[in-house]
């Protein structure tokens, strides 16, 4: 018996290189979850095999800019000439259907979401150590040292924003991080600020 | 990898008749938990089979009153001539050992704990409906209608204090309530207000 039919918006974020994409994938590989992955919108052209409405919502730049103007994006960013963002209507629809919606986004995007929907649940995925983060960034490819150092600097400044989040989840192993996030999602459904109004109206006052 | 070695104080409370004792027992029947049940102190005489340090810490009234004076009780109450309370030193010792300590107490006691240790985790066990609460109170014994009505009145005023708690957990079934509480305890170990200081000191600043 869950007290509120509306879903919870779960924002999974963290520094680049921390492995948040792997953690998110592991969450959705589980059976019997009631989660919905928020599909991003982009102006980038589809790659071979990518499907509209599955991998991304692919739109023209004009439509994307219109959506920005009309406040129809929960968060957005430009990256090497392409726009990426989260359609607000899709998220709201799924929440109204009672689905917990999972966003996996960069730190700057998460802070945008916090401005628009402060009652979302903000989870910061953190590395078990700075050395481990450097290892993960280095083993991603054969980048030049300069690029790696720049990424580390960016990651460090992002880690400085961890206090903006409700939870800090260490990604020591993917399974541990996944289990912690599943516990957090379950717990959030009992948080009194989410359920109190509903409880008073539908349980206490009905006799 | 847990971020903080110190345990979390878990306060399980709720109106009389809601079944919080059964839920608490179910939590401790599980294998592999890292929880410690907080043993109460009382001036009541031991009943046959009750063991000092297991069921209660049995003490003389003088010692109990001394402890009240010295602020050595986390909460206390008098009930038909006997005193009952939670020894602060025992709780602090177990928290320092890294155990999550579970208190199962009345609503008034929980509010006392909140004054002394506001960073504890406060869980309100709530009935699925007021009718169901009345059924549970009625089937407890063969009480007179007057007694039952008094208990219901007390329960209703206690339910009015649910907003003082961090979580509201519906006791629709014992297993559901238990599972929700276990998720809450796990989630609390990742809450940023609990772990941020430790994370910054021991992960971010150490390289």
Which among B163, B179, B187, B193 is the top mutation candidate for probing chain A, defined by the most A β-carbons within 10 Å of its own β-carbon?
B187
pLDDT at A1 over 90: no
Measured CA to CA, the distance from residue B22 to residue B16 in angstroms comes to: 12
| Structure confidence at residue B125 (pLDDT) | 97
pLDDT at A141 over 70: no
Residue A62 domain-assigned? Answer: no
Residue B68 domain-assigned? Answer: no
Top mean-pLDDT range of A131-140, A143-152, B77-86: B77-86
Give chain A positions within 8 Å (CB) of B190.
123, 167-169, 180, 184
Give chain B positions within 8 Å (CB) of A203.
126-130
Q: Which of residues 147-176 of B touch A (CB under 8 A)?
A: 156, 159, 162-163, 165-170, 172, 176
Residue B66 domain-assigned? Answer: no
Ranges under pLDDT 70 in chain B: 1-3, 140-143, 206-207
Residue B91 domain-assigned? Answer: no
A201 contact B CB<8A:
no
pLDDT tens for A16-55 read 889 999 999 999 999 888 899 999 999 999 999 999 998 8
Yes or no, beta carbons of A176 and B1 under 8 Å apart = yes
CATH of the domain at B24: 3.40.50.300
Residue A63 domain-assigned? Answer: no
| Structure confidence at residue B53 (pLDDT) | 92
Residue A113 banded pLDDT, cuts 50, 70, 90: very high
| Structure confidence at residue B141 (pLDDT) | 66
Residue A56 domain-assigned? Answer: no
What is the three-class DSSP state of A105? coil
Residue A113 domain-assigned? Answer: yes
Listed in sequence order, the DSSP H helices in chain A are 20-28, 61-69, 88-96, 107-116, 130-138, 145-159, 174-188, 192-199
Residue A202 banded pLDDT, cuts 50, 70, 90: confident
Q: Residue A156 is part of which domain span?
A: 9-38+99-204
Which among B18, B159, B192, B204 is the top mutation candidate for probing chain A, defined by the most A β-carbons within 10 Å of its own β-carbon?
B192
Beta bridge partners of B73: B87
Instruction: Say how many domains are in chain B.
Output: 1
pLDDT at A140 over 80: no
Q: How many CA atoms lie within 13 A of A202 on its CB side?
A: 12
pLDDT tens for A151-192 read 899 999 999 999 999 999 999 999 999 999 999 999 999 999
| Structure confidence at residue A190 (pLDDT) | 96
Query: Between A and B, how many residue pairs show a Cβ–Cβ distance under 8 A?
Result: 108
Average pLDDT over residues A113-135: 94
Residue A1 domain-assigned? Answer: no
The backbone torsions φ and ψ at residue B142, rounded to the nearest 5 degrees and listed phi first, read -105, 55
Provide the 10 A C-beta neighbour count for residue B71: 9
């Amino acid at each position: 018996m869950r007290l509120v039919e509306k879903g919870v918006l779960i924002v999974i974020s963290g520094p680049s290189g921390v492995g948040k994409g792997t953690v998110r994938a592991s969450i959705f590989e589980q059976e019997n979850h009631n989660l919905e992955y928020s599909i991003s919108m982009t102006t980038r052209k589809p790659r071979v095999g990518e499907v509209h409405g599955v991998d991304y919502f692919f739109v023209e730049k004009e439509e994307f800019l219109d959506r920005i103007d009309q406040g129809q994006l929960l968060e957005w960013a430009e990256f090497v000439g392409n726009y990426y963002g989260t359609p607000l209507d899709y998220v709201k629809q799924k929440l109204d259907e009672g689905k917990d919606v999972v966003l996996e986004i960069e730190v700057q995007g998460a802070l945008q979401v916090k401005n628009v929907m402060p009652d979302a649940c903000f989870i910061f995925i953190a590395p078990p150590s700075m050395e481990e983060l450097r290892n993960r960034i280095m083993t991603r490819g054969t980048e030049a040292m300069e690029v790696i150092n720049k990424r580390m600097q960016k990651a460090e400044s992002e880690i400085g924003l961890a206090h903006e989040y409700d939870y800090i989840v260490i990604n020591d192993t993917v399974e541990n991080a996944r289990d912690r996030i599943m516990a957090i999602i379950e717990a959030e459904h009992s948080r009194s600020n989410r359920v109190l109004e509903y409880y008073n109206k539908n349980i206490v006052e009905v006799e």
